[in-house]
Each structure stands twice: as C-alpha cells, then as structure tokens.
Amino acid sequence: MKKPTSAVLGGAAGSAVLSVALLLIEVETRSRIGLFEVAARFVGVPGNQTLGFVLFVAAGTFAWPLLFVALEAYLPLGPDPAIRGIGFSLPLWVAFVLLGRGDLSGAILIVFGVLTLFAHVAYGFTLGAVYGRLSGETDARRPMPAYPEE
C-alpha cells in the first residue's frame, strides 16, 4: 500500500487509541481535566468542544500522519516505524500539554502530564506500527543482509 494511505490508516487507528485513552483519563479524573475543552484549546477554538474534538480527530487522522511520512527519514529512534512513531508523538505531547493545560496546576497538572504522555506514546506507537505493517516498512519485511555483521 502507498505510504500516505498507510499513514492515514495508521493515524485513524492511532486517533482511536488516543481518543479512548483520553476518555479513560477523563472518566478516571471525574471530568476534572476537561479533555474536550483541552482539545478545543489545542486546536485554537476554546469553548467549542465539538468543533475542537472534530478538528482534533482530523489532525490525528490526516495532518500528523502525513507529516510523519514527510519527516520519516529524519525521525530518531531507529528503523522500526512504531518506535519512530513514539519519537514523533513526543513533540505533539509537549505542544498538547503546553497549549491545552489551561488553568490546571498542582497535582492534577502532574496527573494530566503523565497520563497524556502515555496516551500520546500509544498514539505514536499505533500510528507507526500500522503504517509500517501496511507500507511494508517493518524490520521483519526488510531483506536480511547476505553476511550479517558479527
């Protein structure tokens, strides 16, 4: 499958994982964090949670995966696309925490940071793993060298 299509499908899978993880965080914190509002602030439409969530999913499904393909050769953390996806997700997490934390402070800010880090790592891993599997970029599909290094 072509790389952009594989990335978009990987982004859709990653967005599903990220959305479920963020919903679990929202439930566990009894809506104290207000993740839909965070998503709205992150995409620049504070107060409009529905539009914010739609744009959040669209960015996770289309914009970030296509950027992932464009930057693929320059991403750190090895040849495995799943691991590179984790490296790709870390700057997204930093932006999400900085732009979306709103007026959170104290212990809830630490909980917000840690849980959203895990959610973004899961997004990046899923994006890269699905992309790698569909595009044939996984390590397992690469040809073995004739003479392995000793």
Could you tell me the pLDDT band of residue 64, with boundaries at 50, 70 and 90?
Answer: very high
pLDDT digits (tens, 9 = 90+) for 80-94: 899 999 999 999 999
**Entry pTM:** 0.82
Residue 28 has a pLDDT of 76
Buried/exposed 18-37: b ≥16 CB within 10 Å, e otherwise: bbebbeebbeeeeeebbbbb
Mean pLDDT, residues 103-122: 87
Residue 109 has a pLDDT of 84
Give the helix ranges, DSSP H, for the chain. Answer: 3-28, 35-42, 49-58, 64-71, 81-100, 107-135
Query: Do the beta carbons of residue 67 and residue 127 sit within 8 Å?
Result: no
